[in-house]
């Protein structure tokens, strides 16, 4: 089977993970173009990029390649089979990723992304464009990192109606709540600890106010549950008002408090809020882990647990998508 050619947009943590993973030739992919927000590198026709060199150049000069090759130009002009879009999420507009993904699909190129913006904002449109151009559009890495929840819902539980979905979808919040519970820390102490360990962003507000989890719910609802909802419809309560006392009280009856994201498709209810949950429930996971329980018609409740973030972990989700595309579209 001929290697499939990848244009990689985004050379941050996830992009580095993807490049590292795909360096293994057994997977059968080569990177022929790559771009960060400032520049791009394109291999001569028939050749592949040396990604070590690309990252070395980026580290040394701040630019991975030539300013003449923007991400946008690569999408439209470079030679590749699959666009891997792993640039940072813009939750408001989805740009520039949204336009780049759309343009790739319109060229009939397949797309794999871990970028929540475009999928949460424009999935109905993007999936229609993909279908029209017979291109694959995959996004396992957008929700719950390495946890194969999309694949589980679409294939593992194929044929099951989902009555409800419950998720712990934000590792930062779960870490903070775990530490408040275990050590009696205040919210501020636990947040500071999360920041020190690199588990919280410089501006953690979208995490702690429930927006990040809500975006992931919108993605799951629209892509997997046949809904068509927007972020505005998700009821959101964050964890920033949480007290160690509340967690202690919960503990007295064998419960704890976790930021639970839920979807009830029949009632069109989407909610992210701190909820009391029994400590033995499978959704009660430690630290930065993510977990999703799907309550299904035939299989009953099924839970998936794993790492919700991380460079190589998210790359693992991208890789599974790439392999699925290769099995479906790669020439054999």
- Residues annotated within a binding site: 10-15, 116, 201
What is the closest distance, in whole angstroms, from the C-beta atom of residue 92 to a second copy in the complex? 30
What is the closest distance, in whole angstroms, from the C-beta atom of residue 303 to a second copy in the complex? 4
Work out the widest C-alpha separation in the chain, in whole angstroms: 66
Nearer to a second copy, 121 or 317 (CB): 317
Binding-site residues from annotation for L-homoserine: 201
Q: Identify which of 291, 290, 178, 292 has the alpha carbon closest to the alpha carbon of residue 239.
A: 178
Beta bridge partners of 259: 274
What is the closest distance, in whole angstroms, from the C-beta atom of residue 58 to a second copy in the complex? 23
- Indicate which residue of 2, 38, 109, 216 is catalytic: 216
Angle at 131 between CA 126 and CA 136, to 5 degrees: 80
Nearer to a second copy, 70 or 151 (CB): 151
Contact 147, 308 (CB under 8 A): yes
Residues that bind a second copy (CB under 8 A): 21, 27, 140, 146-148, 151-152, 155-160, 280, 282, 284-286, 296, 298-307, 310, 312-313, 315-317, 319-320, 322-324
Q: What is the dihedral of CA 92, 95, 101, 107, to 10 degrees?
A: 130
Query: What residue ranges in the chain does DSSP mark as E strands?
Result: 4-9, 29-35, 40-42, 82-85, 110-113, 137-138, 162-168, 234-236, 255-264, 269-278, 289-296, 300-307
Nearer to a second copy, 102 or 307 (CB): 307
What is the closest distance, in whole angstroms, from the C-beta atom of residue 76 to a second copy in the complex? 29
Which residues fall within 8 angstroms of residue 105, CB to CB, at 6 or more apart? 111, 126, 129, 130, 133, 135, 137
Binding-site residues from annotation for NADPH: 116
Identify whether 109 is a catalytic site residue.
no
Tell me the Cα Rg of the chain: 20
* Catalytic positions: 216
């Amino acid at each position: 089977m001929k290697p499939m050619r990848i244009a990689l947009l985004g050379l941050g943590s996830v992009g580095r993970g993807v490049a590292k993973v795909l360096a293994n030739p057994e997977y059968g992919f080569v990177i022929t173009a790559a771009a960060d927000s400032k520049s791009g590198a394109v291999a001569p026709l028939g050749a592949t990029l040396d990604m070590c060199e690309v990252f070395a150049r980026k580290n040394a000069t701040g630019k991975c390649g030539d300013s003449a090759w923007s991400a946008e130009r690569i999408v439209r002009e470079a030679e590749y089979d699959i666009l891997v879009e792993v640039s940072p999420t813009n939750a408001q507009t989805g740009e520039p990723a949204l336009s780049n993904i759309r343009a790739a699909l319109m060229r009939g190129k397949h797309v794999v992304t871990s970028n929540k913006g475009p999928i949460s904002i424009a999935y109905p449109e993007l999936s229609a464009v993909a279908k029209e151009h017979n291109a694959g559009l995959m996004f396992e890495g957008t929700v719950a990192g390495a946890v194969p929840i999309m694949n589980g819902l679409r294939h593992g539980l194929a044929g099951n109606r989902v009555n409800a979905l419950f998720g712990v979808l934000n590792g930062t919040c779960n870490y903070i709540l775990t530490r408040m519970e275990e050590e009696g820390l205040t919210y501020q102490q636990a947040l500071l600890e999360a920041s020190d360990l690199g588990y919280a962003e410089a501006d953690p507000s979208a995490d702690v106010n429930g927006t990040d989890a809500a975006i992931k719910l919108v993605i799951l609802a629209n892509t997997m549950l046949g809904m068509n909802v927007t972020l505005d419809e998700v009821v959101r309560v964050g964890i920033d008002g949480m007290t160690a006392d509340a967690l202690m009280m919960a503990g007295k009856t064998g419960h704890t408090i976790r930021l639970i994201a839920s979807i009830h498709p029949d009632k069109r209810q989407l909610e992210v809020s701190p909820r009391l949950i029994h400590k033995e429930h499978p959704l009660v996971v430690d630290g930065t882990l993510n977990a999703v329980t799907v309550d299904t018609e035939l299989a009953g409740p099924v839970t998936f647990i794993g790492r919700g973030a991380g460079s190589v972990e998210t790359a693992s989700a991208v890789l599974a998508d790439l392999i699925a595309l290769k099995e479906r579209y790669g020439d054999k």
